[in-house]
Amino acid sequence: MSKEISLLSTNGKSLGQISLDENVFGVEPNIHIMHLALRRQLNNARQGSACAKTRAEVSGGGKKPWKQKGTGRARAGSLRSPLFAGGGVIFGPKPRDYSFSMPQKARRLALRSALSARLEQTVVVKDFSEIKEPKTKLMVEALKSLKLEGKILIIADTKAAENQNLELSARNIPSVKIILPSNLNVKDLLEADNVVITEAAIKEITERLLK
């Protein structure tokens, strides 16, 4: 099964229709799987390098600060106790790995769900060959022609000849993010207000997610 969607040029002109496989772009979004995939992506990006010293690791504190009895003060064995300023930290953070894994089938389902959920905000363009020079102005005009606003995610192969000026033209526009089809991820798809995908990227993504 497939569904038809308009294929546009970057100047907004219709170039006909393109078929999208419903097994990739027309599935019922699985919210739970998308949530897991997003959590995995965010967790895997965490450094996990926070570290606090325990009383055993803080320097000093070898001498008993005052005698055990007779001072009227509470007994103390070390000034590096967590009770004192400069002492160790009780149950403080230690370097750790926050990452977790997901089965490949579940990761693909999450991507299919995210693509299907954003289909209404997705624009398919032939390529970016209309941008003849690496100029931000040309990219801004292309986005206006496609009637796109807000955060825009562009999925395209920037190394392809027809897209050679895409990256340099878009990098000074804060609201535009470009990713390769091979780097497709749930976080970028869900964060974007609009998604622009090239015809070649559609084919590559469909092949990968139907495996």
Q: Which CATH number do you get for residue 163?
A: 3.40.1370.10
Phi, psi of 14, rounded to the nearest 5 degrees:
-75, 135
Q: 1 falls in which pLDDT band (50, 70, 90)?
A: low
pTM: 0.82
- The predicted-structure confidence for 29-78, as pLDDT tens digits, reads as follows 999 999 999 999 999 999 999 999 999 999 998 899 999 999 999 999 99
pLDDT at 15 over 90: no
Instruction: Give CA–CA dist 112/22, Å, rounded.
Output: 10
Instruction: Give CA–CA dist 120/26, Å, rounded.
Output: 11
**Does residue 10 form part of some domain?**
yes
Domain count, the chain: 1
Mean pLDDT of 88-96: 95
User: Residue ranges of the alpha helices (H) in the chain?
Assistant: 22-25, 31-44, 104-117, 136-145, 166-170, 186-191, 199-209
User: Which residue range is the domain that position 126 belongs to?
Assistant: 2-39+102-209
Which of 5 and 179 is assigned the larger pLDDT?
A: 179
**Does residue 65 form part of some domain?**
no
State the maximum Cα–Cα separation within the chain, in Å, rounded to a whole number.
94
**Does residue 58 form part of some domain?**
no
**Does residue 22 form part of some domain?**
yes
Instruction: Give CA–CA dist 189/111, Å, rounded.
Output: 9
Neighbouring C-alpha atoms within 13 Å toward the C-beta of 60: 9
Q: 211 falls in which pLDDT band (50, 70, 90)?
A: confident
Q: How far is CA 209 from CA 27, 44, 102, 107, 204, in A?
A: 12, 22, 15, 9, 9
Which of 3 and 209 is assigned the larger pLDDT?
A: 209
Phi, psi of 175, rounded to the nearest 5 degrees:
-85, 0
**Does residue 134 form part of some domain?**
yes
The vertex-131 CA angle with 129 and 132, nearest 5°, equals: 90
**Does residue 69 form part of some domain?**
no
Region of poorest pLDDT, from 74-83, 134-143, 156-165: 156-165
Which of 127 and 73 is assigned the larger pLDDT?
A: 73
Residue 147: closest CA among 18, 17, 26, 6: 6
- The predicted-structure confidence for 150-208, as pLDDT tens digits, reads as follows 999 999 988 888 888 889 999 999 999 999 999 999 999 999 999 999 999 999 999 99
Q: SS3 of 161, please?
A: helix
**Does residue 130 form part of some domain?**
yes
